[in-house]
């Protein structure tokens, strides 16, 4: 059963704490993406990676970090430098053998600040 999984579904962060959101895909896709969704603002790109061990900043990368050590996995760390982290975070993937921009999304993680 192919797809994208994200965990946890809900995550609570305390002040000054780093937290990591998980994203795994078994679609054999080369490219993976992280978006942030706030009410009324659509989706904004945080980071993306088109190949293992390489990634690029998106439009709102400040306060976030990523790694891409395996093709299947693209974890996102929300650092303490991100002052307004409360949002819905979506991970997506796409294949370079097709239309790269046709992205498929995971179920999301909702991050809340305590």
Partner 1 sequence: EDKVVQSPLSLVVHEGDTVTLNCSYEVTNFRSLLWYKQEKKAPTFLFMLTSSGIEKKSGRLSSILDKKELFSILNITATQTGDSAIYLCAVGAGGTSYGKLTFGQGTILTVHP
Residues that bind partner 1 (CB under 8 A): 4, 31, 35, 40-45, 48, 50, 58, 90, 94, 99-108
Distance CA 18, CA 82 (A): 9
Between 45 and 80, whose beta carbon lies closer to partner 1? 45
- Secondary structure letter of residue 68 according to DSSP: -
Between 15 and 101, whose beta carbon lies closer to partner 1? 101
Between 6 and 82, whose beta carbon lies closer to partner 1? 6
Q: Considering only CA atoms, which of 44, 27, 26 is closest in space to residue 90?
A: 44
Q: Tell me how far, at minimum, the Cβ of 88 lies from partner 1, in Å.
A: 8
Between 84 and 102, whose beta carbon lies closer to partner 1? 102
Q: Tell me how far, at minimum, the Cβ of 90 lies from partner 1, in Å.
A: 7
Q: Tell me how far, at minimum, the Cβ of 2 lies from partner 1, in Å.
A: 14
**Which residues, in sequence order, are bridge partners of residue 76?**
21, 66
Distance CA 97, CA 22 (A): 25
Rounded to whole angstroms, the maximal C-alpha distance in the chain is: 42
Q: Tell me how far, at minimum, the Cβ of 68 lies from partner 1, in Å.
A: 14
Distance CA 49, CA 109 (A): 19
């Amino acid at each position: 059963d192919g797809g994208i999984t994200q965990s946890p579904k809900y995550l609570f962060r305390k002040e000054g704490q780093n937290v990591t959101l998980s994203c795994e895909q078994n679609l054999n896709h080369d490219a993976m993406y992280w978006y942030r969704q706030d009410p009324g603002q659509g989706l904004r790109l945080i980071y993306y990676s088109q190949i293992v061990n390489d990634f690029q900043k998106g439009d709102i990368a400040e306060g976030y970090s990523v790694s891409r050590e395996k093709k299947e996995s693209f974890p996102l760390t929300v650092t303490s430098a991100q002052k307004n982290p409360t949002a819905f975070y979506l991970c997506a993937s796409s294949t370079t053998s097709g239309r790269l921009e046709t992205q498929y999304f995971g179920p999301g993680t909702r991050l809340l600040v305590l």
